[in-house]
Structure 1
Amino acid sequence: MSSVKTDKRKNSKSDSALLSHTIDTFTFLILCLFPLFVMDRYYNILQAKYYFYIGSVVLLVVAVIFAGCLEHNRLEQYFTSFKWNEFIKKFSVTDVALLVFLIIAGISTISSDYVYESFWGNEGRYSGLFLLCLYGVAYFCVTRLGKLKTWYLDAFLIANLLVCIFGITDYFKMDLLHFKVGMLEEQKFMFTSTIGNINTYTALVGMVTAVSAVLFAAENKWKKKCFYFASLVISFFALVMGISDNAYLSLAALFGLLPLYLFKDKKEVKSYLMMLAAFFSVIQCIDWINAGMGDRVLGIESAFNIIVKYDGLLSIVILLWVICIIVYGLDYANTKKKNQDADIHIHDSEGDEKKWTGCGVLRIIWLAIVIICILGVGYALFDVNVQGNTERYGALGGYLLFNDDWGTHRGYIWRNAMECFEQFPMMKKVFGFGPDTFGIVLLDKTQGNIYGQIFDNAHNEYLHYLITVGITGLIAYLVFIISFIVRVIRKAGKNQYIAAAFFAVICYSTQAFVNLNLPIATPIMWMFLMLGELGIREHCRQVGSKDKGK
């Protein structure tokens, strides 16, 4: 009997190892190879990455089925003891919201006047029902069969630093990959690295910045901390040199919300100060580069230009580094003194208690600052758009005033989209016109527009979902994202790898207010959400097993 049990355990371990390696492979494909994959320069970059993602999910499903066939004994045992109540209890709010979202997308497709286009998304950016279902399949495979590995995020940073470096060299007009050969001169600045459009590029680089920042702040080993800091600085350069206004939303979300996670430990407060010093140093360096190299660089005409033109920028940089040196110096001296103290254990415990109390106050203060800033932005928007006081805000007035020209014609797209939505019959308002049929909806209304463009995307992911999958679809998607955020905060906020995935999702979701949903950067966000949810589930299992042990 004992030998039989041993064989079963060995088979179980080998089966679970096979499934784990399958998830490892899929994660590596999406986080590392997918961003770098290109077939014919920028001419078919959307299709190339779309087909790469399809192939990756198909490979995942085939491998999972193969592993399931190998462990048919376990499958039989599972279905023999299957109970619906227990099965349903294992579904989180995030899981249910995703299923509801996919069901609504399915209803939207079936009820659409353009079923074929809704399913494939071929009249838009290939984000039809088919791609949404691929996201769903990958989500449940990864969250049910995988194990969160620390090397996932390290591999992601290493691979995507290449994306950042190619983007930086494109800023210097070097075109190392020769992707811009034959392009019109006025279009060259719009495309960069192995990603394509600068807006999509900054969406991806924003996630690189988020992962680098969290891991740098949480890491204790100095070698890895240096790697994360180098990654952070490179991503700062890449983000600003991406010359897209979308990037400042990612940075605002990161620098605004990161302290609420970091200000629980003195070490991480110091790390945040160094991040700020590094970011403003990068801005100052780019200003020097632009001044010294002139026509050999693209130049910055985005919101970052407001910071660059500020006369006191260098003083801010120097001040931040002086503060960093003082804080790190005092902490080093304090640590050295404690190590020499005979009662080191007593002092350590007292110091820790004080540290936690002080940092708790810091988080409350920072939360108050964030709320005040949000209210301030809200008032400024009201003052500019309702009261008409645009001149009061100087260079920022152009960013605060919403009209048809706002955000490279985004104002025009959004206004027309909402006017179309108001004219929808009730069924279309509830379930939408069909996934990724935005261009079809707006075709007649915007035909012959003064900008001479065809608008097949809302350039606002949430508005895009409202038009294409309706009010119910948008609500389901928002519940999906928000419930994930709440679950991380409540259950697994102390794990830096889950937190890194969490902030990557936050940065993407913030930038999504003015960006496109494309199978270029969006699959990366979904992958981080899967890994975050996987980490939460593992954390819950560990807590549950500890409770049972007690």
Structure 2
Amino acid sequence: MDQLTERNEQEKSVENKDKGTDWFFGNIRDAAQFLTGCWMFLMLTIFPLYFGNKYHEIGGYKFSFFSGTSTLILFPAAVLAVVVLLGKMMKRDCGEWRKEISLADIGVLLYMGASVISFVLSDFRTDAWEGVSGWNMGLRTQLLMGASYFLISRFFPWRNGEEKRGTGLAGKLILYGFFAGSGITFILGILNRFGVDPLGMYKGISSSYQILFLSTIGQATWYSSYVCTVFAIGLCIFFAAKSNKIRIASGLYCVLGFMTLVTQNSDSAFASLALLFTGLFVAACGSPDKMERFLETAILGAASFKAIGFLQWGFSDRALELGRLSVMFSRGWLSWLLLLFFSICLIVLLQFEEKKGKAAVEKEWGKWKKKLRLICIIGVLSAAVLALLLIIGNTAGIWEKWFGITFHNQYLLFDNKWGSDRGFTWKAAAGMFAEMTPLRKLFGAGPDCFKAYSYSIPEYADLLYQYWKPNILTNAHNEFLNLLICIGIVGLLAFLAMLGMGVWRFFKAWEKKSEGTESTWLSAFVLAGMLSILAYAGHNFFCYQQVCCTPFLFIVMGLAESAVRINERKHS
């Protein structure tokens, strides 16, 4: 009897100890979740609107905000997350983290690892740690972005700590804050293009610079980078929503997004938009209902472009003169053609469903979806190859020699001035890479060390100075080429792997679970992860990493990964 009593007391003691341990680590987890949510709210809501001395050194002010909030909030959250992980390891329950490492997780880890190795081998340690002044994308920022991905993917505040689908009060505050912050930013960008400056951002700045800066982000290419990266969230909610109220609200947000995209005056945004809609079409091929949503989204985009065209016509005395591509989509014939084409497609699809019956169409759709996706992908790749051949042949004089044809279009002649002097910059960057040592080719000069490395070589320093004087070239204006110089072949492959693994992870999750997902938010976030990666890659083929854009890629990826994990748990 005494032995039995003693055993019972020992079991109760162990049980009480486990309860105490669970209580302690549960509170640590809640604290990490709270801090992660606070950081997300500040970045998604306040960061886009934050500025210091108007457009003067706005990149520095933005980085100070990012660095300050990350140091005060994100870093402590990461420390608490490590404590939670250690607690799981103590209970031999670390499998939740270790066994559930996803493709997206591996991609981020590969990229972070490559960045660390490049930093260790760099001859420019200070530059590699801090990055170029103005956006500071050195290793410090890379690690913070990686930490944000893992924290958001594990600690986003879902309702009742993940027990139910959807978002609780904290999650809704973050999402509503995102729509408020980005929506106001979009509105300011649109108003600026019609000479309306409610914040007085242009006071003291020459009118010739007005076309180069807008909203509260600053440089037009930075602004378009930001818009292209975050816009996918609102677009996917409009695409996936079942509630009419949510569709109307998200639809209005999408109208603002499309309007600011067609007026921001950066051609890179249209490459981004093309990839975004390619991804959305591939996702929509899953069912006729989704294809209807895709066509509705495309019609909304084309109508928004045309609405801007009418506003530019009605307020011609105030509207700024934009580039050729922007004008073509707003005031030109292209938006009319897109609007007509997608409207006809939607009418045909609806009539086909009415004639054959929705059930019969859905049954037959399975035979078509793979073919539609294949046609889309082949079409996009063929268009890209054709454009490349046109540029190469025109630049080399082949078409003139063979057919007596020369294209004087600014997009088809790859000279030094091509793409706002990207032609010269890309040639110089390619030359620098070719002359790197084998070790540098593999691991690069160090994160965000393009400037430090290029100006350390006398012949390239002189070449760049003569072309850009009195300005200093700080990057290759092509993220992939810039990464090749900064973190080498290994780093570039790791970054491409991160993007590719993320796209595949989120696409497969969307395909597998979207039909059974009850929550609009979850299905939308999963799809937004894929589309945001595609939009970012399309835009930054002509741009570069900076603090107004790249951190949001990791935020959206983290949000998408979190949604995938919730879906997997609910269906396991």
Interval containing the TM-score (normalised by the shorter chain): 0.7 to 0.9
AA in 1 matched with 2:526: I
| Distance in 1 between residues matched to 2:149 and 2:476, nearest whole Å | 25
AA in 1 matched with 2:186: C
TM score, norm. by length of structure 2 = 0.82
Counterpart secondary structure, 1:303: helix
AA in 1 matched with 2:72: L
Equivalences for residues 164-183 of structure 1 within 5 A: 164-183=186-205
| Distance in 2 between residues matched to 1:259 and 1:483, nearest whole Å | 19
Match of 1:273 among 271, 288, 295: 295
Give the 3 Å change call, closer, same or farther, for CA 237–382 of structure 1 in structure 2: same
Give the 3 Å change call, closer, same or farther, for CA 241–92 of structure 1 in structure 2: same
Match of 2:432 among 420, 424, 439: 420
Match of 2:304 among 282, 299, 319: 282
Aligned partner of 1:357 in structure 2 is 364
Give the 3 Å change call, closer, same or farther, for CA 487–361 of structure 1 in structure 2: same
Q: Aligned-pair distance for 1:422? A: 0.7
AA in 2 matched with 1:18: A
Give the 3 Å change call, closer, same or farther, for CA 360–406 of structure 1 in structure 2: farther
Question: Contact 1:430–1:470 at 8 Å: present in 2 too?
Answer: yes
Counterpart secondary structure, 1:176: coil
Equivalences for residues 250-261 of structure 1 within 5 A: 250-261=272-283
Q: Aligned-pair distance for 1:523? A: 1.0
Give the 3 Å change call, closer, same or farther, for CA 405–357 of structure 1 in structure 2: same
Range that drifts further, 432-441 or 307-316: 307-316
Aligned partner of 1:132 in structure 2 is 142
| Distance in 2 between residues matched to 1:312 and 1:191, nearest whole Å | 26
Question: Contact 1:35–1:160 at 8 Å: present in 2 too?
Answer: yes
| Distance in 2 between residues matched to 1:421 and 1:163, nearest whole Å | 38
Aligned partner of 1:373 in structure 2 is 380
Question: Contact 1:190–1:198 at 8 Å: present in 2 too?
Answer: yes
Give the 3 Å change call, closer, same or farther, for CA 111–288 of structure 1 in structure 2: same
AA in 2 matched with 1:262: A
| Distance in 2 between residues matched to 1:356 and 1:17, nearest whole Å | 46
Q: Aligned-pair distance for 1:489? A: 1.9
Match of 1:43 among 38, 41, 56: 56
AA in 1 matched with 2:421: H
Question: Contact 1:265–1:356 at 8 Å: present in 2 too?
Answer: no
Give the 3 Å change call, closer, same or farther, for CA 412–79 of structure 1 in structure 2: same
Range that drifts further, 265-274 or 310-319: 310-319
Give the 3 Å change call, closer, same or farther, for CA 492–57 of structure 1 in structure 2: farther
AA in 2 matched with 1:225: R
Query: What per-residue deviation string (whole Å, max 9, x for no partner) do you get for residues 324-352 of structure 1?
Result: 56766897x89xxxxxxxxxxxx9xx944
Match of 1:465 among 483, 488, 493: 483
| Distance in 2 between residues matched to 1:458 and 1:472, nearest whole Å | 18
| Distance in 2 between residues matched to 1:114 and 1:62, nearest whole Å | 25
Q: Aligned-pair distance for 1:42? A: 1.2
| Distance in 2 between residues matched to 1:112 and 1:11, nearest whole Å | 42
Q: Aligned-pair distance for 1:158? A: 2.7
| Distance in 2 between residues matched to 1:233 and 1:137, nearest whole Å | 33
Matched, 1:489 2:507: yes
Question: Contact 2:51–2:216 at 8 Å: present in 1 too?
Answer: yes
Gaps of 5+ in 2: 1-11, 159-166, 456-460, 515-522
Aligned partner of 1:232 in structure 2 is 254
Query: What per-residue deviation string (whole Å, max 9, x for no partner) do you get for residues 228-287 of structure 1?
Result: 111111111111110111110121012222111123233322222222222222232333
Aligned partner of 1:530 in structure 2 is 558
Equivalences for residues 61-140 of structure 1 within 5 A: 61=74, 63-64=76-77, 77-82=87-92, 88-122=98-132, 125-140=135-150
Give the 3 Å change call, closer, same or farther, for CA 316–461 of structure 1 in structure 2: closer
Aligned partner of 2:184 in structure 1 is 162
Aligned partner of 2:268 in structure 1 is 246
Question: Contact 1:461–1:515 at 8 Å: present in 2 too?
Answer: yes
Aligned partner of 1:209 in structure 2 is 231
Counterpart secondary structure, 2:195: coil
Give the 3 Å change call, closer, same or farther, for CA 13–318 of structure 1 in structure 2: same
AA in 2 matched with 1:368: I
Query: What per-residue deviation string (whole Å, max 9, x for no partner) do you get for residues 474-499 of structure 1?
Result: 11111112111111122344222211
Aligned partner of 2:410 in structure 1 is 398
Aligned partner of 1:505 in structure 2 is 533
Gaps of 5+ in 1: 335-346
Aligned partner of 2:244 in structure 1 is 222
Q: Aligned-pair distance for 1:374? A: 2.0
AA in 2 matched with 1:207: T
What is the RMSD computed on CA atoms of the aligned residues?
Answer: 3.2
Match of 2:452 among 426, 436, 440: 440
Q: Aligned-pair distance for 1:56? A: 2.2
Aligned partner of 1:263 in structure 2 is 285
Question: Contact 2:138–2:447 at 8 Å: present in 1 too?
Answer: yes
Q: Aligned-pair distance for 1:177? A: 1.0
Question: Contact 2:115–2:487 at 8 Å: present in 1 too?
Answer: yes
Q: Aligned-pair distance for 1:201? A: 0.8
Q: Aligned-pair distance for 1:305? A: 2.7
| Distance in 2 between residues matched to 1:142 and 1:22, nearest whole Å | 10
Q: Aligned-pair distance for 1:67? A: 5.4
Question: Contact 2:39–2:74 at 8 Å: present in 1 too?
Answer: no
Match of 1:18 among 31, 36, 48: 31
Question: Contact 1:121–1:435 at 8 Å: present in 2 too?
Answer: yes
Range that drifts further, 485-494 or 523-532: 485-494
AA in 2 matched with 1:373: V
Question: Contact 2:479–2:541 at 8 Å: present in 1 too?
Answer: yes
Question: Contact 1:492–1:539 at 8 Å: present in 2 too?
Answer: no
Matched, 1:514 2:542: yes
AA in 2 matched with 1:37: Y
Question: Contact 2:220–2:265 at 8 Å: present in 1 too?
Answer: yes
Range that drifts further, 236-245 or 365-374: 365-374
Query: What per-residue deviation string (whole Å, max 9, x for no partner) do you get for residues 189-239 of structure 1?
Result: 101001011111112222343222221121111011001111111111111
AA in 2 matched with 1:385: I
| Distance in 1 between residues matched to 2:306 and 2:369, nearest whole Å | 28
Give the 3 Å change call, closer, same or farther, for CA 76–491 of structure 1 in structure 2: closer
Q: Aligned-pair distance for 1:517? A: 0.7
Match of 2:315 among 282, 293, 297: 293
Question: Contact 1:124–1:457 at 8 Å: present in 2 too?
Answer: no
Give the 3 Å change call, closer, same or farther, for CA 469–67 of structure 1 in structure 2: closer
Counterpart secondary structure, 1:194: coil
TM score, norm. by length of structure 1 = 0.86
Give the 3 Å change call, closer, same or farther, for CA 188–7 of structure 1 in structure 2: same
| Distance in 2 between residues matched to 1:449 and 1:171, nearest whole Å | 30
